[in-house]
Amino acid sequence: MRAVVFERYGEPAEVREVADPRPPAAGVVVRVEATGLCRSDWHGWMGHDPDIVLPHVPGHELAGVVEAVGSGVANWRVGDRVTAPFVCACGSCAECAAGDHQVCRRQTQPGFTHWGSFAEYVALDHADVNLVAVPGELSYATAAGLGCRFATAFRAVVGQGRVAAGEWVAVHGCGGVGLSAVMIAAAAGARVVAVDTAPEALELARRFGAAHCVDAAAVDTAAAVRELTGGGAHLSLDALGSPATAAASVGGLRRRGRHVQVGLLPAAAGGTVLPMERVIGWELEILGSHGMAAHAYPPMMELVRSGVLRPDLLVTSTIDLDAAPAALAAMGTAPGRGVTIILPRAGQDPEATA
């Protein structure tokens, strides 16, 4: 198969022929019809993820068709249309027994713990626990973005963030995760303040329901959020992942507000400093959010199917596999403009539903 491969961190990846994957006994091989280009892939390429072993194939947001099935798989057949969360759970540890598959202690992650979906095929383990059926009316391009950015945002806003109608929600960083969070919070009846430095990203946030947009390059964002919301956001998310955005998210909360950290924060000199005196004095909640388990998808999928949520609108560009290495490298400097989807096989239709 053809796949995007990098041999060294931070150095150009290339498209080359590699061996086709084989299904684990409890897993499947999926023919990749679409895969998302995510900032987490850039973090992996830069060497920020300790699970990666070189040489490596990135990619963790995917949708496609089951191509081969392991001997221990009971619920899936060749030809099934599927997607999967980026955290693939084992299904048998204590966390999985409690339903918390997104923090499984033996989790695997395509594109991190093993070769990922910037390829024509990808192997996924524990298929009966992790695969999610893709409805026939949902395009592969739309379904690919659900496994990381949209599902992650859904759980961050609805599950961890406990959003309620009428609340103020601040979203710091309007890339794929942030724009998904804007759309989900607005659909839940919240009033959203979107924060970014890119005019294009803020325009998309406004289109997806943001009541106010803040240019982080021009103002003190925490102060701006407090002013726009009459005292601070009830819920705030750092969807980018930087010391500055994390601190601004906490600083923009009202008393007893909730901060959800979604964006990855790689280790850096000085680390991330949060205003802990405010966290204590105002009884703020600091929460993490790490994807969403496959078994939790149905409520989100029903909102997508009914048209209440429109993740298809987040897809702003599609590229072929040959363009993926340059697009991956550009994520370190390019501003967010929605979701880019990679179509690994020549001649694919991004709107295809069958």
Residue 239 belongs to domain with CATH number: 3.40.50.720
Same domain membership, residue 305 and residue 275: no
Domain assignment present for residue 348? The answer is no
* Separation between Cα atoms, residue 168 and residue 69, nearest integer Å: 46
Tell whether 336 is covered by a domain: yes
Number of domains in the chain: 2
Please return the burial class of 299, using the count of CB atoms within 10 Å of its CB with bins 0-12, 13-18 and 19+.
Answer: exposed
Residue 131 lies in a domain: yes
Query: Could you tell me the pTM of the whole model?
Result: 0.92
Check whether residue 23 and residue 137 sit in a common domain.
yes
Structural domain contains residue 255: yes
Helix axes 176-187, 199-207, angle to 10 degrees: 30
The CA-atom distances, in angstroms, between 138 and each of 132, 177, 301, 342, 351 are 13, 20, 10, 17, 9
Residues 192 and 283 in one domain: yes
Q: Is residue 109 part of a domain?
A: yes
CATH at residue 74: 3.90.180.10
Mean pLDDT of the chain: 94
What pLDDT is attached to residue 272? Answer: 80
pLDDT at 338: 82
* pLDDT at residue 333, as a whole number: 80
Instruction: Give per-residue burial for 107-138: e unless 16+ CB within 10 Å, then b.
Output: bbbbbbbbbbbbbbbbbbbbbebbbbebeeeb
pLDDT in tens, 17-62: 999 999 999 999 999 999 999 988 999 999 999 999 999 999 999 9
Pair 141, 208 in one domain: no
Q: 281 and 296 share a domain?
A: no
Q: Predicted confidence band at 353 (pLDDT cuts at 50, 70, 90)?
A: low
Q: Which of 209, 141, 226 is nearest to 174 (CA)?
A: 209
For residue 128, what are the domain limits? 2-149+292-343
As a whole number of angstroms, the distance between CA 187 and CA 246 comes to 24
pLDDT confidence tier of residue 270, bands split at 50, 70 and 90 = low
pLDDT digits (tens, 9 = 90+) for 251-265: 999 999 999 999 988
Residues 305 and 321 grouped into a single domain: yes
Q: Do 7 and 113 share a domain, yes or no?
A: yes
pLDDT tens column, 304-323:
999 999 999 999 899 999 99
Helix (H, G, I), strand (E, B) or coil at 187: helix
Coil, strand, or helix at residue 238?
strand
Q: What is the pLDDT of residue 167?
A: 98
What do you get for the CA distance between the two ends of the chain, in Å?
22
* Four-residue CA torsion sign, 108, 314, 31, 334: negative
Exposed / middle / buried, residue 255 (Cβ in 10 Å: 0-12, 13-18, 19+): exposed
